Amino acid sequence: MVRYAGIEGGGTTFVMALGSGPEDLSTPIVFPTEEPERTLERVVEEIRRAGDVDAVGVASFGPVDLRRGSHTHGNILETPKPGWSGTSVVGFVQQAVGLPVGFDTDVNGAALGERRWGAAQGLESFIYLTVGTGVGGGGVNRGQPMHGLNHPEMGHMRIPRHPDDDFPGTCPFHGDCLEGMAAGVAIEARWGRRGEDLGPQTAPAVELEAWYLGTALANLCLSLSPERIILGGGVTKLPHLLDGVRQRFLDSLNGYVTIPEVLDVGSFIVAPALGSRAGVLGALVLAERALHPAP
Ligand code: ZN
């Protein structure tokens, strides 16, 4: 039986597990994202310790270089994360363990996991938007992880402001882009406390979140015509947020789209099904794809 090493490389922690799917997954090992060499050494150490691994998959924080033929393919691109800009993740791991290494963004990885075992089974094209500390977007198009020239950066799309909102936004590049207005960092800056501690400010915070996220999902529906949108990440655990997003999504479309699958908004905009295991499970799919590349 094949065995893969799946690694979810986050900006704060790395999560790693071995197996071939949800029924056959080792207890994930979690370790902090320190300086690159030390972190990747730990990955290599765990793979060697496990032995008997056929391929490795890494679903990484970004931005990353996924361009075919690029001499920096598999690297982390320019990032504010100290020391990580230019780190060759694929090169480091491949050279150390001599195994095929699949690589993609964390959100494209999670999307592949949801397609195989979760909320997007049987779908050829869907979007996965995750709202945590930042906002990441990706998904699958015609059965393949969503790539263009490189990978999408949906978190930085521009969204019209809520009419009563004068918050400047927290994105260092754009101020009030989607991430700058709706990510966890923005919630903390706007309300002075984290999403789970909002108390009486929860309802107004949820209204604003629903506005920005619902509008963003309408834009994604209009521009990419996915079969479904999965909305995940810590921020989406705010009470009643998903209902608010669905309502704002419909209000923003304002009757323009009449396709029944879209109007059945409870099935069109859904939560992830794999929970915190989506990242490592998706990384297993990346490993499998590296072992058996599509013709
Ligand atoms: Zn931005």
pLDDT tens digits, 149-159: 999 999 999 99
Q: Is residue 50 in some structural domain?
A: yes
Cβ partners under 8 Å of residue 188, min gap 6: 194, 195
158: CA distance to ligand 1 center in Å?
8
Flag whether pLDDT at 295 surpasses 80: no
The per-residue pLDDT for range 135-145, each reduced to its tens digit, is: 999 999 999 99
The CA 286 to ligand 1 mean position distance, Å, reads: 28
Q: Is the pLDDT of residue 269 over 90?
A: yes
CA of 213 to the centre of ligand 1 (A): 14
Shared-domain flag, residues 10 and 62: yes
pLDDT confidence of residue 48: 97
Q: 90 C-alpha vs ligand 1 centroid, how far in Å? A: 27
- Domain extent, residue 69, equals 4-106+276-291
What is the CA(210)–ligand 1 centre distance, in A? Answer: 18
Residues 197 and 97 reside in one and the same domain: no
Distance 64 CA to ligand 1 centre (A): 16
CA–centroid distance, residue 181 to ligand 1 (Å): 9
As a whole number, mean pLDDT of residues 242-247 equals 98
Buried b (16+ CB within 10 A) or exposed e, 193-222: eebeebeeebeebbbbbbbbbbbbbbbbbe
Distance 216 CA to ligand 1 centre (A): 13
Is residue 116 classed as helix, strand or coil in its secondary structure?
helix
CA of 174 to the centre of ligand 1 (A): 4
Q: pLDDT tens across 31-88, in order? A: 999 999 999 999 999 999 999 999 999 999 989 999 989 999 999 999 988 999 999 9
C-alpha 218 to ligand 1 mean position (Å): 18
Based on the domain organization, do 249 and 130 belong to the same domain?
yes
Mean pLDDT of 268-293: 95
- Give me ligand 1 centre to Cα 228, in Å: 24
Residue 96 belongs to a domain: yes
Residue 212 C-alpha to ligand 1 middle, in angstroms? 13
Average confidence (pLDDT) over 223-245 = 97
Residue among 229, 240, 232 at smallest CA distance from 205? 240
CATH of the domain at 34: 3.30.420.40
Q: Where are the alpha helices (DSSP H) in the chain?
A: 36-50, 89-97, 106-117, 178-182, 184-191, 202-224, 241-253, 260-263, 265-268, 278-291
Looking at the structure, tell me whether residues 24 and 156 fall in a common domain: no
Instruction: State the average pLDDT over residues 98-114.
Output: 97
| Interval between CA 227 and ligand 1 midpoint (Å) | 26
pLDDT at 68: 86
How many A from CA of 182 to the centre of ligand 1? 11
Is 85 within a domain? yes
pLDDT at 294: 80
185 and 209 both lie in a single domain: yes
Mean pLDDT of the chain: 96
User: How far apart are alpha carbons 208 and 21 in whole angstroms?
Assistant: 37
**Strand boundaries in 49-204, DSSP class E:** 55-60, 101-105, 126-131, 135-141, 144-145
How many A from CA of 178 to the centre of ligand 1?
7
Instruction: Note the pTM of the prediction, 2 decimals.
Output: 0.95
pLDDT in tens, 170-191: 999 999 999 999 999 999 999 9
Instruction: State the Cα–Cα distance between residues 270 and 149, nearest whole angstrom.
Output: 28
Nearest CA to 208 out of 262, 257, 169, 261 is that of 169
Ligand 1 center–CA 134 separation, angstroms: 9
- Considering the domain architecture, whether residues 152 and 185 belong to the same structural domain is answered as yes
Nearest C-alpha neighbor of 38 from the set 78, 4, 79, 82? 82
> Is there a single domain that holds both residue 240 and residue 280?
no
- Are 248 and 211 contacting, i.e. CB atoms less than 8 angstroms apart? yes
Yes or no: say if 35 and 14 are a contact pair by the CB < 8 Å rule: no
Q: How far is the CA of 250 from the centre of ligand 1 (A)?
A: 25
Distance CA 171, CA 154 (A): 13
Centre of ligand 1 from the C-alpha of residue 156, in Å: 4
CA of 188 to the centre of ligand 1 (A): 16
CA 183 to chain centre: 13
Give residue 5 CA to ligand 1 midpoint distance, Å: 33
